[in-house]
Amino acid sequence: MPIGPVRPMPASILDPGAVVTALDVLANDPDDLDFAEREALLAWLSALHDHFPALWKRALQPAAGRLRRSAARGAVDASRHIKLRRIALATLVRIA
């Protein structure tokens, strides 16, 4: 998730199955995330949904949709969301 600057990623993040499994785990109990983690996850899911719709539909629904709605609860700073989305998109471009 885009909490900091773009940086090298471990090879395991490239495994779509691992990403889907992680999203399923989070979707079952999204309250385990603190506010900053929910903000970062929302930015990552939003970038993925908006810029890679085929991947979103093929691999990540329905858990990612539920998780995106859950992460969007609460106040979100629009400027921070845009910044986190840009970081997420820079990462997703390298793996999607």
| Residue that wins the pLDDT comparison between 46 and 19 | 46
pLDDT computed for residue 37 by the predictor: 87
Distances from the Cα of 15 to the Cα of 7, 9, 30, 35, angstroms: 17, 12, 22, 26
End-to-end CA distance of the chain: 14
Contact 40, 1 (CB under 8 A): yes
Write down the pTM of the prediction.
0.74
Going from N- to C-terminal start, the domains of the chain cover 11-95
In angstroms, the CA 29 to CA 20 distance is 15
What is the tens place of the pLDDT at every residue in 22-51? 888 888 887 788 888 888 888 988 998 899
What is the tens place of the pLDDT at every residue in 49-87? 899 888 788 777 777 888 888 788 776 788 998 999 998
